[in-house]
Amino acid sequence: MPRLAVFDLDGTLVDSAPDIHAALDRLMAAEGRPPFTRAEVTAMIGDGVRVLVQRATTARGLEFTEDRLARFTADYTARAAERTVLFPGIAEALAALQAAGWALAVCTNKPAAATAALLAALGLEGRFAAVGGGDSFPVRKPDPGHLLGTLRAAGGDPARAVMIGDHRNDVLAARGAGLPCLFAGWGYGTPAMAEGAAATLARPEALVPVLRQFLP
Ligand SMILES: O=C(O)COP(=O)(O)O
Ligand SMILES: [Mg+2]
């Protein structure tokens, strides 16, 4: 069974905040509300689209409604890859891991449809043994069931797998599933969210050597 690296998506593999930010601002503009700062947006990312829209509407004095959630989701899904790019060094790290025989998977709270659209636009479809979206299972991160379901779909073994993520939810899901978590220090999380992680990596360049330490 190959070693498996399970990656979070937003803030870990991809810098998706510009498109999430733009879609939130389009929703606010349609409601006559002012735009957000980037820092406001990155602090709202990590718990999936429903919580994102709940936080955004609340922050601008709007009622959260299913209609606003649906409009945001449709708009974001259609335009998820306009400004979103891989973080520098990620493409090289993924290629090096695959060359070394690792299998790769994605476990993200982003809905599966937007995740698939984004991975395809970035030319990454087919790279991952499994992609577990925020609505792929009955539970999502921090529930370990999301990570374990993704792992099972990838044909992985929890004893031969490592999680990499930028949010407290990634650390908690990994801990619950019995996997070490490497904290992506280049992402949207705060240093406090790394509590319980096996290590914090400052840059994607550290991924290959550190993963090799965890699973030689
Ligand atoms: O959609 C979100 O809120 C976060 O997505 P992530 O799990 O890929 O960071
Ligand atoms: Mg993330």
Q: pTM for this structure?
A: 0.97
> Looking at residues 57-81, what average pLDDT do you find?
98
> Looking at residues 20-38, what average pLDDT do you find?
98
164 lines ligand 1 (CB under 6 A): no
Give the per-residue pLDDT at 1: 82
Pair 74, 143 in one domain:
no
**Given the DSSP bridges, would you call strands 103-107 and 130-132 parallel, antiparallel or unpaired?**
parallel
Q: Domain boundary at 78, 96, 121, which?
A: 78
> Looking at residues 92-110, what average pLDDT do you find?
97
107 lines ligand 1 (CB under 6 A): no
47 lines ligand 1 (CB under 6 A): yes
48 lines ligand 1 (CB under 6 A): yes
Pair 90, 115 in one domain:
yes
Length, in residues, of the chain: 216
Total domains present in the chain = 2
Q: Active site includes 8?
A: yes
Pair 68, 100 in one domain:
no
- Rounded Cα gap, residues 82 and 31, in angstroms: 23
Interface predicted TM-score (ipTM) over 0.85: yes
The strands making up 199-201's β-sheet, listed across from edge to edge, are 130-132, 103-107, 4-7, 161-165, 181-184, 199-201
Strand stretches in the chain, DSSP E:
4-7, 14-15, 85-86, 103-107, 130-132, 161-165, 181-184, 199-201
Q: Residue 24 is part of which domain span?
A: 17-78
Ligand with smallest separation from the Cα of 135: 1
Residues with CB under 5 A from ligand 2 (ion): 8, 10-11, 166-167
| pLDDT bracket for residue 125 (50, 70, 90) | confident
In this structure, what CATH number is given to the domain that contains residue 73?
1.10.150.240
Residue of 45, 47, 190 to mutate, ligand 1, most atoms within 8 A of C-beta:
45
